[in-house]
Amino acid sequence: MNTPERTFPPMTADERTTLEAWLDFYRATLAQKCDGLTEEQLRTASAEPSSLTLLGLVQHLAEVERAWFRRVLTGEDVPPVSSADADVRPADRGFGLEADATYVKSRLLWQAEVEHARKNCAAHALEDTGLWRDNQVSLRWIYSHMIAEYARHCGHADLIRERIDGSTGV
């Protein structure tokens, strides 16, 4: 599976380019944290007592992409990415691993949601809004939130990966 090149965001770009570049930077960071690991390692909760896994992070971020860029921004009526998440609090969706969950399947789903997000965003200005919890929320706010979401989870991924095989940085 090809991992996108992780390019450091430009330091003098316009606002939209900067927001999109930071989001893509963190997307690529998560993919790199998963590179080179076995299926078993990707399913390993290595920072006890947490049950968080790299595979769970990939699934969760597929759900987060779907939630913000499809449900909120465009008002699409789409189900959770996993049927097992139907009754789970939206902020917790994706973390649990079904027996048949695989990295390849989860990564393809995540990549599809990222591509869908890019298409939806391309059709909207930063000032355009969607509805979240009965409030209008701008694409600018969604980008900022997603950058924070990915940064937080990339930190989690870094700790999990280090506990699995000692790999740090990237």
Residues 115-128 pLDDT 10s: 999 999 999 999 99
Instruction: Return d(Cα 164, Cα 170) in angstroms, integer.
Output: 15
Strand partners, 137: 130
Verdict on whether the full-model pTM lies above 0.85: yes
Q: Is 134 helix (H, G, I), strand (E, B) or coil?
A: coil
Strand partners, 132: 135
Q: What is the pLDDT of residue 100?
A: 87
| pLDDT, greater one: 99 or 23 | 23
pLDDT surpassing 70 at residue 87? no
Q: Is 136 helix (H, G, I), strand (E, B) or coil?
A: strand
Q: What is the pLDDT of residue 44?
A: 93
pLDDT bucket at 23, cuts 50 / 70 / 90: very high
Indicate the Cα dihedral angle 130, 116, 143, 65, nearest 10°: 90
Instruction: Return d(Cα 145, Cα 150) in angstroms, integer.
Output: 9
Residues 110, 58: contact at Cβ < 8 Å? yes
| Whole-number Cα distances in Å, 14 to 9, 11, 24 | 11, 9, 15
DSSP H or E run through 20: helix 15-34
Closest CA relative to residue 98, chosen from 112, 87, 85 = 85
pLDDT bucket at 88, cuts 50 / 70 / 90: low
Q: Which two tokens stand for residue 61?
A: 């971020």
In the block, tokens 């940064």 appear at 151
Residues 93, 110: contact at Cβ < 8 Å? no
Q: Is 148 helix (H, G, I), strand (E, B) or coil?
A: helix
Q: Which two tokens stand for residue 8?
A: 């450091």
